[in-house]
Amino acid sequence: MSEISKAFAGLAGGEGALVTYIMGGDPDPDTCSKVIDAVVAGGADILELGIPFSDPIADGKSIQAAAVRALSAGTTPRRVLELAKNAKEKHHVPVALMTYFNILYSQGFENFLRLAKSHSVDGIIVPDLPLDEASRYARLSRRMGVDNILLAAPTTSAGRMRMLASNTSGFLYLVSVLGVTGARQSLRRSTLALIAFAHRYTRGRVPLAVGFGISAPEHVREVIEAGADGVIVGSGIVDRVADYRENKSKVLQNVEEYVRSLKAATRG
């Protein structure tokens, strides 16, 4: 069982996992390390670190701005891997990377996976992984012992959902809305329908975690009550980090308190 799978399995009955997304190196690597400390102190069960990329097609304005800040501070994929390793060694929480295919492809699948594994990365999310590359990448990730976390959307067909449920590992990432990441005021009925639809194919074999648009404790409670095993929160954290120039210590406190409120909501 992978470290990510263990994190889900170790939760109390009825409790959901909180996956917190942080853009690696935002606003700079040193401050990012302190943000990681804050989200873990707030109760994050799994840490998701984004590798900044110049053309993040799945991300909304908040995370695009975070990528610009991180890249401007000189953040590289290798620096994000170092942040991942340090976080794992310091906090003993599972770490997943979110990266775009161009970064993966430019470094080579096997080389990137080997680097990720050597830096204590437990899983990788590639939102734009081409279908014709998916099987080769999946074989390599299994061989390296790195979870290949796949994504399902409200438009996912029954046939594709069956394939995703059979091939994802760690968890199945349910994209709650069509479009890009970003905090939203309310959840759509399609999100709750997607959870039920995915359950028909996963049958408890792999956890379901809902992301894109989850930003408030009431969102968290709603998706957990609807049967999701976890939630992924990104833009709500990134938006708070964006205020770091005003008062760094206050920002870290705000991030920790925000994450604590989300974690409390995973318990009902």
Where in the sequence numbering do the catalytic residues fall? 48, 59
* C-alpha atoms less than 13 angstroms from C-alpha of 265 in its C-beta half-sphere: 25
How far are the Cα atoms of 219, 261, 265 from residue 215, in angstroms, in the given order? 7, 11, 12
Which amino acid appears at position 222 of this protein? E
Nearby residues of 12 by Cβ (< 8 Å), 6 or more positions away = 267
Tokens representing 162?
Answer: 């069956």
Which amino acid appears at position 31 of this protein? T
CA angle 176, 61, 134 (to 5 degrees): 55
φ/ψ (deg, to 5) at 242:
-60, -20
Reference 181, options 66, 104, 90, 260; nearest CA is: 66
φ/ψ (deg, to 5) at 140:
-65, -40
DSSP annotation of 26: S
Longest Cα separation, the chain:
50
Tokens representing 260?
Answer: 């604590």
* 198/68 Cα distance (integer angstroms): 34
Q: What share of the chain is helix, strand, coil (3-state, %, to 5)?
A: 50, 15, 35
DSSP annotation of 16: P
